[in-house]
């Protein structure tokens, strides 16, 4: 996975030798929301599910924060951000609860909730607008340490580590992987499968909310339709990032890096003067190649 990123970066620099701190900054800003969405999707996919409401939840977090932070001070905006993250956890809990109690497939439940959140976002903010204090935006757009380390990357690492590390290193992380790998064996080992799946969606909801906040920081406004791109792109990043769609295999690093790679593609296309609409074609091809490559490697390993 890291090789892919280095390769993509190398290609980018080769194409555009002027690639400098500013371009790194753009990369960071562009990749941040996607990387967080990918993190959200990764947690859920690892537990054996899928979440189709990520984009809509991001939109709600985006418009909610943009609308409420518009005339707030920096301190207030931080408090509001924390509340939004909490709200994301609650939304995720809703996904998880409905899923576990009704036994309806996760695709259906999360898709339906996605539609609901999309509507809620439009109700909160009909047109793009709102804002946030300069200092809050700077958390993502600034360069606190050095021009070569944009805040966006720092924020990404902090956010992922702050949420994922407590999960991964405790029993919840182990049960998450277990449930994703083999639900029956996990059940027989005494794991509360339903509770684990529930928490997977709660964590996913938190990441989605942080992703929505990232949208606020990177765009400076709230836009109710901002999330549509992210749901499936997050899934693409998860697959490219080496997380098995069947669950139980993979980590957080892969999808995050994959998100950066995916963000580089349209940039490279622009540098190459290729129609950026080819971006989707290339994304799709990349998914096929990576998944096929993985499958081929597995096949070769099985044949002694």
Partner 1 sequence: MTEAPLLLDAYDVAKSFGAVVALRSASLRVRAGEVHALMGANGAGKSTLVKMLTGALPPDAGVISIAGRPRRFRSPAEARAAGLVSVYQDPALVPDLTITQNLRLTGANAGVVRKWLGEFGFGGLDFSDFVRDLPLPSLRLIDLARALAAEPDILLLDEITAALPADLAERVFAVARQWRALGHSVIFISHRLAEVSALCDRATVLRDGVTVGVVSPAAGGEEQIVSLMLGTEPGRAADMVPHGHTYRNRAPGKPPALEVVALRCGAMLRDVTFRVQPGEVLGVAALEGQGQQELFDCLAGLRRPDAGTISAEGKALRLRHPADAIREGIVLVPADRLHALLHQRSVRENIALPLVRGLRHWGLLPMRAETARVDKAVRRLQIDTRAAAEVRRLSGGNQQKVVIARWVAAGFKTLLCFDPTRGIDIGTKRQIYTLIRELAAGGASILLFTSELPEIPLTCDRAIVLFGGQVVDELPAAEADEARLLRAAHGLVPRGTVSV
173-202 residues near partner 1, rule: CB under 8 A: 174-175, 177-178, 180-182, 184-192
**CB nearer to partner 1: pick between 16 and 249:** 249
Instruction: Give the DSSP per-residue string, 218-279.
Output: HHSSB-TTTTTTHHHHHHHHHHHTT--TTSS---SHHHHHHHHHHHHHHHHHHHTT--TTHH
Task: Tokens 């996607």: give the residue.
Answer: 34
Nearest approach, Cβ of residue 184 and partner 1 (Å): 7
* Sequence-ordered alpha helix ranges (H) in the chain: 2-15, 21-46, 54-69, 74-102, 106-124, 134-141, 151-168, 171-181, 183-188, 193-219, 230-240, 253-271, 278-302
In degrees rounded to 5, what are phi and psi of residue 30? -70, -35
Nearest approach, Cβ of residue 298 and partner 1 (Å): 11
133-172 residues near partner 1, rule: CB under 8 A: 171
**CB nearer to partner 1: pick between 18 and 301:** 301
**CB nearer to partner 1: pick between 146 and 184:** 184
Nearest approach, Cβ of residue 187 and partner 1 (Å): 7
Beta-carbon count within 10 A of 252 CB = 23
Residues 116-135: x/- map of binding to partner 1 (CB under 8 A)? Answer: --------------------
Residues 238-257: x/- map of binding to partner 1 (CB under 8 A)? Answer: ----------xx--------
| Cβ-contact 58, 37 below 8 angstroms | yes
Nearest approach, Cβ of residue 304 and partner 1 (Å): 13
**CB nearer to partner 1: pick between 186 and 259:** 186
What is the contact surface with partner 1 in residues (CB under 8 A)? 171, 174-175, 177-178, 180-182, 184-192, 248-249
């Amino acid at each position: 996975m890291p090789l892919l990123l280095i390769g993509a970066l190398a290609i980018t620099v080769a194409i555009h030798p002027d690639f400098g701190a500013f371009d790194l900054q753009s990369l960071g800003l562009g990749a941040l929301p996607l990387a967080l969405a990918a993190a959200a999707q990764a947690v859920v996919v690892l537990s054996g599910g899928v979440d189709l409401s990520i984009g809509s939840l991001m939109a709600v977090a985006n418009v909610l924060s943009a609308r409420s932070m518009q005339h707030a001070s920096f301190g207030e905006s931080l408090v509001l951000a924390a509340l939004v993250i909490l709200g994301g956890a609650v939304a995720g809990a809703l996904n998880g609860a409905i899923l576990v109690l009704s036994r309806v497939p996760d695709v259906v439940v999360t898709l339906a909730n996605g539609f609901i959140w999309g509507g809620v976002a439009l109700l909160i903010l009909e047109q793009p607008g709102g804002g946030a204090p300069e200092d809050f935006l700077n958390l993502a757009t600034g360069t606190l340490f050095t021009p070569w380390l944009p805040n966006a990357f720092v924020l990404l690492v902090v956010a992922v580590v702050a949420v994922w590390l407590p999960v991964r290193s405790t029993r919840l992380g182990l049960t998450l992987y277990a449930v994703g790998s083999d639900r029956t064996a996990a059940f027989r080992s005494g794991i509360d499968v339903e509770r684990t799946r529930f928490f997977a969606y709660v964590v996913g909801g938190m990441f989605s909310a942080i992703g929505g906040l990232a949208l606020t920081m990177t765009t400076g406004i709230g836009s109710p339709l901002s999330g549509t791109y992210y749901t499936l792109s997050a899934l693409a990043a998860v697959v490219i990032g080496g997380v098995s769609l069947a669950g139980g295999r993979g980590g957080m690093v892969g999808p995050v890096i994959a998100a950066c790679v995916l963000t580089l593609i349209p940039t490279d296309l622009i540098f190459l003067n290729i129609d950026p609409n080819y971006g989707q074609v290339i994304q799709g091809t990349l998914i096929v190649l990576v998944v096929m490559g993985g499958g081929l490697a597995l096949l070769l390993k099985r044949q002694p």
